[in-house]
Chains A and B, each alone.
Chain A
């Protein structure tokens, strides 16, 4: 036992040495949160990736926000009125200040939306405002949004982080975030190293709450685990391997917060591939994947088997859909019917290229092995994110595994399955084309009445499960590893870290070493 522990100690030292030495502890009462990659944008008008959004939510408020139950609630808006199907009126709270002391007014909201909509901004968030006809400010405290046509997911438009009027567009190199009305302001940003947030002086905070947050970029999973074990890192959101967590818990002052999440993992088919445009082949692939075995052993039970893109917590969720339990015999039979008979070596004349990121490589290998059992040869290509995404958008793949994080409104089905929503304007990367689906998702977008809308999306989910443009794999749980001194952390299904603004640091300061 003693020898084993010493060996581990040596290993830890070695791992720490390759991770560029012992890091300096953050100032006292700062929380250190380890993340895998740098945010790509610090200005909320440009942030689209998960890391940027998580950090932005702590700095910027929006007209409405999504609460822990996935519902839209007022954030900067004190009250909301919907006089008819195309208008929505937001009454702003009074006395809200940006971190530079300016008071928030309706002109800041107008400025933010105008600068995103301005074609010269080239903001990736512009597309989300396509249905926005006008944004008017009848007085200091009122914002009126008018949509082109009745547009059900209008609230999604009201979740953009608000910057002060006159904030210039960010230049090519990423600089500090502009001031926001949120709990924190950004004081330092070092690319691929760290992002420093400090309390917004105009927002009251309890004495036990953190004075600031240091987001440290730590790409290596072992170094993140060691920083947690040594008490250097206080919070690791969704980035510690499931297998490593029990080891950490047994040895240090850590707690795990695990809660159901809405991160949806799926396998996407490319309909330009003739083999895959055959429904029998898609079903055969769905039957060949043992999702239960993967979720139980490989993911250590930190996922729920998914029936569709929308998680059960969402109001639009429909669970009564076709499911595909692991059934290799049926899979083989479907492939035979489709004309892909197994040869003497058990393999069929069906070869597919599966694209993924290096992080997704392990899952790809599992799926490759499972498809090999039914005679499908799969070649894995793992590329870094930018290449991967450009291959997906140009349709250069047969299969791809991806995730959707934080889907809230079921209108997402329109963006990913409507036949007109192919890249670059939409996210239908598999080039799925089904007239029945088009009708449904377009109707869902125009229907305001929640009961009728729910019925439409129930049909959408049934059709998607029947016709299989995606194979649904699972919804990942949100697994956050925290130092025991961090109290009051509340998980969000979409992985938001908003609650870091209100957690308390109990006991000693966040910089203690607890060996």
Chain B
């Protein structure tokens, strides 16, 4: 109780994210109906007992599609963040630890990537790679890794000069032991915060690309392509856009709150 009062972001964020993970894991069971099964007789059916969120223009159950969409959205976002995190941390660590011209070269490369607006870079890459889930993950990771590289390098540069790290060196600890025992744990906190915010951003980016037709291919349901398909029917069937729209909103809110909460937690601890 005390913790909740002190850090409501963390509590609410954790609750939302936990719920989302549950939906992604169990949603397909709850939805029962096949999200890709068309039933033209129920085209644009209103929300009701059989279909809590109604049916789309092809008579597919919107509830089932949102549930399956959660799996896709979270699956893609977590994969992208994981990939970006690994690549970014490695690159950042090399730059931070090696220093000198290696650091210079790597960081200028990072600057070049950062100079492109992220979403545009992802769109261009997705267009080149072609539509599909794996290509989508690659395209989004290509824009995501730089943040982690900069973060890790920055942290390492400051940590390296700390007394306890210098002490470990003096006591004869091997460089790998210093990295694993002393540096990594110290970097983990800020990285976790960054990664959590990252998931929210990637959820939005994934939806944007799918909306533009560069993400999941039909009939795979994704929140972005559902929004796009529902757009033409906003006047007669607003539930087609509301359901995925709310799902996107809640997901981003959840991860951002969790990120905030983690940041507070990290702040109070240090």
Contacts and interface: CB of A to CB of B under 8 A. Distances in A.
Contact of A369 (B37, B43, B44, B234): B37
B218 A368 contact: yes
Contacts, number: 72
Interface in A221-260: 221-222, 225-226, 241, 243-244, 247-248
A222 B234 contact: yes
Contact of B38 (A365, A379, A381): A365
A221 B232 contact: yes
A34 B232 CA distance: 16
| Interface residue tally on A, bucketed by range | 20 to 34
A361 B56 CA distance: 14
A181 B159 CA distance: 81
Contacts of B234: 11, 15, 222
Contact of B58 (A222, A290, A362, A381): A362
B115 interface: no
Contacts of B219: 365, 368-369
Contact of A366 (B38, B131, B231, B238): B38
A279 to B, nearest CB: 28
A222 B231 contact: yes
A382 B210 CA distance: 12
Interface string B119-139: 000000000000100000000
Contact of B236 (A12, A243, A381): A243
Interface string A280-297: 000000000010011011
A7 to B, nearest CB: 8
Contact of B43 (A8, A297, A370, A382): A297
B57 A243 contact: yes
Interface string A354-369: 0000100110111011
B213 interface: yes
Given A358-B213, A361-B218, A380-B217, A369 B235 contact: no
B58 A365 contact: yes
Contacts of B131: 381
B41 interface: yes
Interface in B212-252: 213, 217-219, 229, 231-238
Nearest to A364: B218
Contacts of A382: 213
A243 B236 CA distance: 7
A489 interface: no
A315 interface: no
B7 interface: no
B36 interface: yes
A11 B213 contact: no
A202 interface: no
B15 interface: no
B218 A247 contact: no
B24 to A, nearest CB: 23
A379 B217 contact: yes
A122 B131 CA distance: 35
Interface string B32-71: 0000111011011000000000000111000000000000
Interface residues of B, number: 24
A298 interface: yes
B241 to A, nearest CB: 9
A244 B40 contact: no
A243 B46 CA distance: 13
A296 to B, nearest CB: 8
A365 B213 contact: no
B242 to A, nearest CB: 10
Given A298-B43, A379-B217, A382-B213, A369 B231 contact: no
Interface string A8-52: 100110010000000000000000000000000000000000000
Given A294-B40, A298-B40, A380-B217, A369 B58 contact: yes
A244 B233 contact: yes
A365 B218 contact: yes
Given A221-B231, A380-B218, A243 B44 contact: yes
Interface in B171-216: 213
B92 to A, nearest CB: 38
Nearest to A14: B234
B15 to A, nearest CB: 28
Contacts of A362: 57-58, 229
B235 A225 contact: yes
Interface in A295-322: 296-298
B43 to A, nearest CB: 5
B58 A11 contact: no
Contacts of B229: 361-362
Given A361-B218, A380-B218, A8 B37 contact: no
Contacts of B238: 7, 11
Contact of A298 (B37, B57, B232): B57
A364 B40 CA distance: 14
Contact of A244 (B36, B58, B236): B236
Given A222-B235, A225-B235, A241-B232, A297 B217 contact: no
Contacts of A221: 231-232
Interface string B19-38: 00000000000000000111
A368 B219 CA distance: 8
Nearest to B229: A362
Contacts of A15: 234
A50 B232 CA distance: 22
A236 to B, nearest CB: 13
Nearest to B233: A243
Contacts of B237: 243
A362 B230 CA distance: 11
Tell which of B41, B59, B219, B234 has the most Cβ of chain A within 10 Å.
B234
Interface in A367-411: 368-370, 379-382
Contact of B235 (A8, A297, A381): A8
Nearest to A15: B234
Interface in A315-370: 358, 361-362, 364-366, 368-370
A438 B31 CA distance: 54
A221 to B, nearest CB: 4
Nearest to B40: A297
Contacts of B232: 221-222, 241, 244
A381 B213 CA distance: 9
Contacts of B57: 243, 298, 362
A15 B232 CA distance: 11
6 contacts: A11-B235, A221-B232, A293-B41, A365-B58, A365-B218, A366-B58
Given A244-B236, A297-B41, A369-B38, 18 more contacts: A11-B235, A222-B234, A222-B235, A241-B233, A243-B44, A243-B237, A293-B40, A296-B40, A297-B40, A358-B213, A361-B229, A362-B58, A362-B229, A369-B58, A369-B219, A370-B38, A379-B217, A381-B131
The 9 nearest A-B residue pairs measured at CB: A297-B40, A369-B38, A221-B232, A222-B234, A247-B236, A365-B218, A293-B40, A297-B43, A380-B218
